[in-house]
Chain A
Amino acid sequence: MPLLEVDSLTVEYKTNRGKIRAVEDISFSLEKRETLGLAGESGSGKSTLGLSIIKLVPSPGVITKGSIKIDHVDIMKLPEEKMRSIRGRKVAYVFQDPMTSLNPVKRIGDHFVELIQTHEPTVEKKVAIERTKRILESLGILPERINDYPHQFSGGMRQRIMIGLGIAMNPCLVIADEPTTALDVIVQAKILDLLESIRDVYEMALILISHDLSIILERCDKIIVMYAGHMVEYASSAELYKNPRHPYTQGLLESIPNIELTGQKLSAIPGSPPNMLNPPQGCRFWPRCMNAKKKCSVEEPPLIDVENNHWVRCFYGGEGALNG
């Protein structure tokens, strides 16, 4: 049985101006030692999806439908007090901005000790400190720096500390939400390597959320492409790269520059993402789609398995794009 099972998850933000379905009817599963990539542009609902897995959707967001099972536990039924033991202990969440996620007036060691003692009240401080030192060492940070404050570390180091806090309780799932967006490429590569090695050593599953399709393609086993709250395509990364079926995925792949190619011609997807208060009827992508037909603007396309667990939310399964 898979480690994480999400079934027809729907999240809504109830705002003054109307209801926004940020995540609609999303299902997927994830095994140990697997990396799932959530790709999509700003506002596509990828962060909301990530947060909803640990029931942390910010107000006024509400999970209106669906079930989430982590390690065989249905967390939708768990009361809030029980959720605290899931967060941190079973699932770690690494946020984008390591500066605002650490308490600036607290030493690094204290962050760890507090976390460990919250989840395991019987652990003595001395033991917790020893454990912290071991974690810091495994992250490539000198254990002597345990008494330093967050501002004494660089951005990359802070993100390492955040990852360390995430894995301190030995969770089975790490959700990393744009973990390297604020970092330079060299540091980015190191952080992604670190996440990968931690995943293998601790036998965890990893969800990587990023707007950068290059990172997702390079680092993930499976990929969900999100558009306007919908999962428009779901496939293994090799399959998605070789054989993208949804016109949106095809457009995205054609718009990212690849440093290994020369004389590459990039193209753009016309138009811009829809206003989520008032999404288009039918397929949410049809106003920008080159192959849209009458049907697309009326009916919502279902998610179809085109072959071997390669799912596409398009009436034509990408065929329209291939023919036209």
Chain B
Amino acid sequence: MWKTIIGLDAFTAEKVRLMGEIIKVGHLKKYFPVQKSFLEQLLTRKMGYVKAVDDVTFAISKTEIFTLAGESGCGKTTTGRLVVRLLEPTSGEIYFNDENITKFKGEKLRLLRRKMQIIFQDPYASLNPRMHLGEAVGHPLEIHNIAKGKEKKKMVLDVLDKVGLTPPEQFINLFPHQLSGGQRQRAALARSIILKPEFIVADEPVSMIDVSLRTTIIDLMLGFRKELGLTYLFITHDLAVAKYISDKIAIMYLGKIIEIGTKEKLFLNPLHPYTQALLSAIPVPNPKRKRKVIELMGEVPSAINIPSGCRFHPRCPYKKAECIEKEPQLIKIEDSHSVACYLY
């Protein structure tokens, strides 16, 4: 099912067969109920939902960097959290190494978390201000009964050294407030890899880092992919960063993937009108280049009242009658490139 949807070419399909897919997500949905006022509850029985993720299907091959990109509110972060089981999906399935983990609970879930980790956007909020780095970074080792005492310390020193917090003997006793933003994000990265996971969800890991330091974090992530054979689900709103780091990119709009492909194909030949507009709006660091920004009508509608048919139709310059009636599905246009749009 996944292969046909994502539209792999023969070579990649073979590679995937040999390498395998580490993550498979099928028809994933997450609806958050909307709080209503008492009066509204009396007057209507129908529940309102924010359809944050609305039927999303994709697969990530081993050692791949797969990016979910889109504007704020498109459901990329929710998807990431669903995949690592921080949120319960409303429906749909998640497979990790061909095992259905959608319903994992208790001990099984705990063991699963050794293999999948998440890095958050805000390194100021994701590190406990009262824990020094040795404690914070070594904490996962204790939770999972892997190491204690001296052994733990040795592993922490080792991993701090790996993320470039050197000399580690000095950093191990520092508290988060003594670190800069970039150093904190390195510490968060250290904590996420200390268990030697197979898969990491990185949710906007460089958005809050100063430009001059971003590349070091990205390079560390790319290095760990090689060294530890890691697979990443990278979540970002910044398509320039996505282009730099990813192998494959999925563009989300209002809870749905509307286009998916290898980064080369997606950037060379964007198919969906939304992708085209999105790419045209990205600033290019070149004063001579005068861009032509594709104008879109209106703004992103609310995820409570999703438009009928294609959810992009109210803003689409090419809309046809069928776009209003029926929702387009992702179809393969060329090898490793699929789009959900009736233009194709």
Binding site for B on A (CB under 8 A): 41-42, 154, 156-157, 184-190, 193, 211-215, 217-220, 237-238, 240-241, 248, 251-253, 255-260, 262, 264, 266-269, 272-273
Contacts of B284 in A (CB 8 A): 214, 218, 258-260
Contacts of B71 in A (CB 8 A): 184-186
B31 within 8 A of A: no
Contacts of B215 in A (CB 8 A): 255, 266-268
Contact assessment for B182 and A188 in the assembled complex, using a CB-CB cutoff below 8 Å: no
Contact count band on B: 35 or more
Contact assessment for A259 and B240 in the assembled complex, using a CB-CB cutoff below 8 Å: yes
Q: Considering the chains assembled together, what is the distance between the CA atoms of A188 and B281 in angstroms?
A: 8
Q: Considering the chains assembled together, what is the distance between the CA atoms of A219 and B283 in angstroms?
A: 9
Q: 26 A-B residue contacts at CB 8 Å?
A: A41-B211, A184-B300, A185-B237, A185-B278, A186-B281, A188-B281, A214-B282, A214-B283, A215-B283, A217-B287, A218-B291, A219-B283, A238-B287, A238-B288, A240-B287, A241-B285, A251-B212, A256-B240, A259-B267, A259-B282, A259-B284, A262-B264, A268-B215, A272-B180, A272-B210, A273-B210
Other-chain residue from A189, A255, A257, A264 in contact with B281 (beta carbon distance below 8 A): A189
Which residue of chain B lies nearest to A218 when distances are taken between CB atoms in the complex?
Answer: B283
Binding site for A on B (CB under 8 A): 71-72, 180-183, 210-216, 218-219, 237, 239-241, 243-244, 264, 267, 277-289, 291, 293, 296, 299-300
Contact assessment for B287 and A259 in the assembled complex, using a CB-CB cutoff below 8 Å: no
Known: A156-B299, A262-B264. A257 touches B213 (CB 8 A): no
Contact assessment for A187 and B299 in the assembled complex, using a CB-CB cutoff below 8 Å: yes
Q: Considering the chains assembled together, what is the distance between the CA atoms of A60 and B15 in angstroms?
A: 61
Known: A211-B211, A257-B240. A268 touches B216 (CB 8 A): yes
Contact assessment for A268 and B213 in the assembled complex, using a CB-CB cutoff below 8 Å: yes
Contact assessment for B212 and A185 in the assembled complex, using a CB-CB cutoff below 8 Å: no
Contact assessment for A255 and B211 in the assembled complex, using a CB-CB cutoff below 8 Å: yes
Other-chain residue from B210, B241, B296 in contact with A42 (beta carbon distance below 8 A): B210
B296 to A: closest C-beta gap in Å:
6
Contact assessment for A258 and B286 in the assembled complex, using a CB-CB cutoff below 8 Å: yes
Q: Considering the chains assembled together, what is the distance between the CA atoms of A193 and B285 in angstroms?
A: 16
Contact assessment for B212 and A186 in the assembled complex, using a CB-CB cutoff below 8 Å: no
Other-chain residue from B181, B278, B287 in contact with A218 (beta carbon distance below 8 A): B287
Q: Considering the chains assembled together, what is the distance between the CA atoms of A113 and B181 in angstroms?
A: 42
Known: A186-B71, A259-B282, A272-B183. A41 touches B212 (CB 8 A): yes
Contact assessment for B296 and A186 in the assembled complex, using a CB-CB cutoff below 8 Å: yes
Contacts of A190 in B (CB 8 A): 293
Known contacts A184-B300, A217-B287, A218-B285; 15 further A-B pairs (Cβ under 8 A) = A41-B210, A156-B299, A186-B281, A218-B286, A220-B287, A240-B287, A256-B211, A256-B240, A259-B240, A260-B286, A268-B214, A272-B180, A272-B183, A272-B213, A273-B180
Which residue of chain A lies nearest to B295 when distances are taken between CB atoms in the complex?
Answer: A190
Which residue of chain B lies nearest to A256 when distances are taken between CB atoms in the complex?
Answer: B285
Contacts of A257 in B (CB 8 A): 240-241, 243-244
Contacts of A188 in B (CB 8 A): 281, 283
In this complex, which of A215, A238, A268 has the most chain B Cβ atoms within 10 angstroms of its Cβ? Answer: A268
Known: A214-B240, A252-B211, A259-B279. A268 touches B219 (CB 8 A): yes
